[in-house]
A and B are shown apart, each in its own frame.
Chain A
Amino acid sequence: MAKTIDARGRSCPEPVIMTKNALDESPEESFDILVDVEVAVENVTRFAKNSGYKVDVEEDKSYFILHIQK
């Protein structure tokens, strides 16, 4: 079960920092990051991929879920 982190409505670069903190704390765990703007999708995805994680983006009605795993 992936842990959920709600980064919706956060200014740049908070979604990335929240993701970074989560991955630093539990590098082997999977996370679902919730964001609501395209730029956060891009930034978090780029960060997670550069850190060696796999990212799947799922679009909900008004937001995005980024599934991040090793």
Chain B
Amino acid sequence: MMDKPTWKSTLRAFLYLLPALLILIVFNIYPIIKSFLMSLYTDYDFYNDVVYEYGLSNFSDIFQDPNFIKAIVNTTVFVIGVVPVSIVLSLAIAIMLNSKIKALSFFRTIYFLPFVTSVVAVAIVWGWIFHSDYGLLNYFLGFFGIDPIEWLTDPTYSMPALIILSVWKGLGFNIIIFLAGLQNINKQYYLAAQVDGASAWHRFLSVTIPLLSPTMFFISIISIINAFKVFDEIFALFNGRPGPANSTLTVVYYVYQKFYEEWEFGLASAAAFVLFIIVFLFTLIQLSLGKKFVHYQ
């Protein structure tokens, strides 16, 4: 039931939106605009808000900085490493948790725990697991005759270590969302498919996947955005350094270094803005793909 929009109804809707809108404007919209403006400051007194000169030199500076290029490459590797694995794993676990097994709520709690635990605590524990001499992971790998790997000090392995931690940490959230999506699928579709003689695999491909596509779509957008913003895990796992030889320097870490460690407010804002554009483009691409492949019931 849709009435024609009137001034009165628009005003009322606006009032309902106001609380959320205010928070968004103060904490999101305004900072985005401000940081875009700051990225154009080339000669400025940050603390007294005096800008002597605007320009694009911050952007040309960061694109000439090998560390920024490295940060973009590392971030991309991280996104590719984390998002697909995380989605496949969490979907598989969600399907298992959706079946009839004993102690179901116990398992659901277990998988959700990493998500609600603080990143710092998680990183400390994983720091021990990854330890090359005393770590659990190398101990288990030893059973298969694999020599100890220097997960946290060898630049080749630091990114895989970070990816493992992030996938594990993000599982819980994805599983919960997938579970909700799975439980929304009407059982009758499965019954009908069974009557038609579809195998379990067929039912998964032709019933579960299409009907789960809105959930999948939501999770992939959220996961990609989150993966692009990775910072805490690195800071905690590598004790305030961007990994050995900058091997886990990501764009947000770069922004942090420039802003808080090097007092380069213009460069930091420019880098943050570039990240914003990248994430924005990715989301647009996903939205247009989503129109093609997502089926709403």
A binds B: no
List the interface of chain A (C-beta within 8 A of B). Answer: none
List the interface of chain B (C-beta within 8 A of A). Answer: none
